[in-house]
A and B are shown apart, each in its own frame.
Chain A
Amino acid sequence: MSNGTEAEYEVTHGRPQAFYENFDRKGELQHQTHYCPGCGHGIVHKMLAQAIDELGIQNRTILVSPVGCSVFAYYYFDVGNVQGAHGRAPAVATAVKRSHPQSIVVSYQGDGDLSAIGSAEILHAANRGENITVIFVNNAIYSMTGGQAAPTTLLGQVSTTTPAGRNAANEGYPLHVSELLATLEAPVYIERVGLGDNRQVAQAQRAVRRAVENQVRGLGFSLVEVLSPCPTIWKMSPVDAQHWVRDVMEKTFPLAVLRDRTKDVQPKAAPATGPALEEIPRILGVTDEGEAEPSDAQAKGGVDLQVRVAGFGGQGVLLLGEVLAEAGLHAGLEVSWLPSYGPEMRSGTSNCHVRLAREPIDSPLVAHPDVLVAMNEPSLHKFCASVRPGGWIFYNGETVPEECERKDVHILARPFMHVADELGDGRAGNMVILGALLEATATLPQASVDAALGQLVKSPRWLTLDERALARGRELLRESLQEVCHEG
């Protein structure tokens, strides 16, 4: 046997197109990788590049490279490249893919990157069934940082941080991430392959190609774990390291197809395109359309009303304030509504500050209210002293406790909830109080209150009830004023 001339031969296996011609590396090293002789990363790179070539997706491909020995994968792949933080490649890839669903996104990660620091990111990307391809290069060690233990380090395996060999009692057991992910519903394809001999290499090549092709077909999350030699850190010759993959590593991490639903799943539908730009303000509800007709219902004169509403959750404290603020806005005033939220928010108390003013409002915090609405006794206790002289206190109770009596403010104490009960639902008690408040302050036109209520209360039943409650509250106030007159 011998050779004919070169001209009679054609290249069948040569440098894949998906690699750059020259690598953006230091000095004269631009034609070779930074990987050590016999490194599995180089072999897996070639498989991925071949798959990209065969599927004709070079322009569409985006490679997310990890932190680990393959951190510089972007030197080699002539595709779109994003270099991410340690372990976060699946999160980065998730967003890249969702930003450009037509792109083919590959998250390339080492075992430290994927199974330790990035264990949450890979789990959740897999669980969401992101339509991405993950290439997981497992060399059972942190290679880049010089050989510390990884979650995948074998029992008994010596590393710089397990100098006596990995001991389950201290470091736990080798983590089988692929098996773990295969318990999830969403992934469509998970396979563990090796680089231990020719047969394994051929299978690995097929698996890498399938994992990419699944994405091209829109099937969903695919992951290939590759048991990969690291001759340098393992302190073996490249050939021995290759054999160690087959003879030792494979015993802990059996090669297998752990998930294959590629035949059962339907390709993911392309996401719907968004609406026309002009539609967006309407979708957000920020256009003039739908705005209540500008009314003549304008508050008159100089207004500066400061209100504090306090009670327990479920007593309608926040809504009372909101109707007031919304009505003020309708009446052409400056308004602010501030829920007192904070540690107390979780202890059941609820309380808000409302200001209505003619002038721009400086502070939305109401320290000295003109009107205090106290839905219960603790609230009354807490705030009664802060009310400005000449102001109002509306107290949801029969009688004001002695300590809270004040001669310099108007007080209306009624069991407002009971009043509302008589109207059909005690929960409308807040609106009874609001009615009284509106009547007492005489700041806002009824039309503004109606408009606010219409906007905030969507259920017709509640709207009717609230309207009746407001009217009843106004009545109560008028009655009480008459009582005062009679007494006077």
Chain B
Amino acid sequence: MRRQLMKGNEAIVKSAILSGCRAFYGYPITPASEITEAAAQYLPQVGGVFLQAESEVAAINMLYGAASAGVRVMTASSGPGISLMQEGISYMAGAELPCVIADITRGGPGLGNIAAEQSDYHQVVKGGGHGNYHTLVLAPHSVQEMADLTALAFELADRYRNPVVVMADGFIGQMMEPVEFPQTATEPHLPKWAVAGTEESRGNLISSIYLEPDKLEAHVRQLEAKYYVAQQREARAEEWRTEGAEIVLVGYGIVARILKAVAAEAQAEGLKVGVLRPITLYPFPGLQFQKLAERARVFVVVEMSNGQMLEDVRLALNGVRPVEFLSRFGGNVPSHGEVLELVRKLARQTLPAPQPERESVAHV
């Protein structure tokens, strides 16, 4: 199959269209604009809709409309725009509408800067909008994954009738790597629940309103049940050379790429180091952490934020292993050298040997 050199941002759009996406509504923002631009180029050519909205608020509500109408739809933005979209994301989760949102993250808070950062974790993974809901969140670390996880995002969005976010830092969006696409396109289909302006769909209603407390509670419990299934089935992580690892480096996106380089070098020095890379940030792959904790002595979380995923790692480990944290942000990237230095330091320290008793207590 053909491998093409392509930017991550462009790969998202091509994969989306091959996955049956036929509508894109968005508002430009660095470093996500190439997605909007590629959508403007290709969607009209495949009989789809492209519209540059007047704001991210309008864009996400257009997604609400298109998804209500049963069309596979997506948008793309970065931190400040995702903040504005939170209203619509909450409505879509409440109304159980599928959509895909690409968040190509940049620095914050406020206008921050346009450099790559991973500080959108909280607002995306924890549900920055109001109410009891989650978005499913996928975190690609290569251009190939930008394509593959976008395809998966559309599948999951439909399966769970819920917004799915593909969250990548600016580097993954901007960089070029070889990528392959499937040679066939998915046929868009109209879901039964969609409001399509036809006799069959006349009785359909898309709404997030549940006036009576019992009904709203039942609705949210049903959403919870859905998320529970997603936790059981969809959590993914890559374990990279973790056999026998005593030090487990944890990171996603571009950070995971750096961690792999560090681990390779550390292993060459004879250190027992591996990488655990969450691919789904929600549902968080907690089981894989617990499994590795049986053998590993310490986990090292590396993030381009002030420690947002760190909280989920700590929750997943529930105190059974120490968690070290290294972070750079503001546009700074944790360097190969500084991570390697930390790994060497930890390897030199006499770490407490695994204590299974403590572990079982902690799990009670």
Contact = CB atoms under 8 A, between A and B. Distances in A.
B170 A341 contact: yes
A79 B202 contact: yes
B66 interface: yes
B292 to A, nearest CB: 20
Given A95-B25, A339-B174, A342-B115, A367 B337 contact: yes
A59 to B, nearest CB: 4
Nearest to B263: A362
Interface in A321-375: 322, 325-326, 329, 334-339, 341-343, 345-346, 361-365, 367
How extensive is the interface on chain B, given as a class? 35 or more
Contacts of A336: 175-177
Contacts of A94: 51, 62, 65
A71 B91 CA distance: 14
B336 interface: yes
A389 to B, nearest CB: 16
Interface stretch (A37-45, A159-167, A276-284): A276-284
Q: B23, B31, B57, B197: which has the most chain A beta carbons within 10 Å?
A: B197
Contacts of B181: 281, 284, 286
Contacts of B113: 342-343
B225 interface: no
B207 A274 contact: no
A124 to B, nearest CB: 4
* Size category, A interface: 35 or more
Interface stretch (A97-105, A140-148, A149-157, A232-240): A97-105
Interface string B174-197: 111110011111010000000111
A203 interface: no
Contact of A341 (B2, B51, B174): B174
Nearest to A71: B209
Interface string B148-192: 000000000000000000000011001111100111110100000
Contacts of B254: 364-365
B235 to A, nearest CB: 24
B46 interface: yes
A100 B51 CA distance: 15
Given A283-B45, A338-B171, A342-B116, A288 B5 contact: no
B51 A80 contact: no
B47 A88 contact: no
A91 B53 contact: yes
A85 B335 contact: no
B209 A96 contact: no
Contacts of A365: 171, 254, 257-258, 333, 336
Interface in B7-58: 14, 17-18, 22-23, 25, 31, 42, 45-49, 51, 53-55, 57-58
B142 to A, nearest CB: 9
A187 to B, nearest CB: 16
A121 interface: yes
A121 B54 contact: yes
A103 B196 CA distance: 7
A286 B14 contact: yes
Contact of B46 (A61, A80, A275): A275
A58 B203 CA distance: 11
Interface of A is mostly: mixed
Interface in B92-149: 95, 113-116
Contacts of B331: 342-343
Contact of A337 (B17, B177, B207, B333): B177
Among B70, B184, B202, the one with the most A-chain Cβ atoms within 10 Å of its Cβ is B202
Contacts of B23: 95, 98-99
Nearest to A121: B58
A85 B97 CA distance: 14
Contacts of B63: 95
A286 B196 CA distance: 31
Interface in A246-278: 271-275, 277-278
Interface string B245-278: 0000000001001101100100000000000000
Among A79, A104, A288, chain B packs the most CB atoms within 10 A around the CB of A79
B114 A91 contact: no
Given A96-B69, A335-B178, A342-B170, A80 B115 contact: no
Contact of A362 (B73, B87, B264): B264
Most chain-B CB neighbours within 10 Å: which of A96, A334, A335, A361? Answer: A96
7 contacts: A85-B88, A96-B66, A120-B54, A281-B181, A325-B176, A345-B114, A367-B335
Q: Which 7 A-B residue pairs are closest in the complex by CB-CB distance? A: A274-B47, A103-B197, A95-B65, A342-B115, A99-B69, A83-B207, A92-B65
Given A286-B14, A337-B176, A341-B114, 15 more contacts: A26-B212, A62-B195, A80-B198, A92-B68, A95-B73, A98-B66, A120-B57, A277-B187, A278-B185, A286-B4, A287-B2, A362-B264, A363-B336, A365-B254, A365-B257
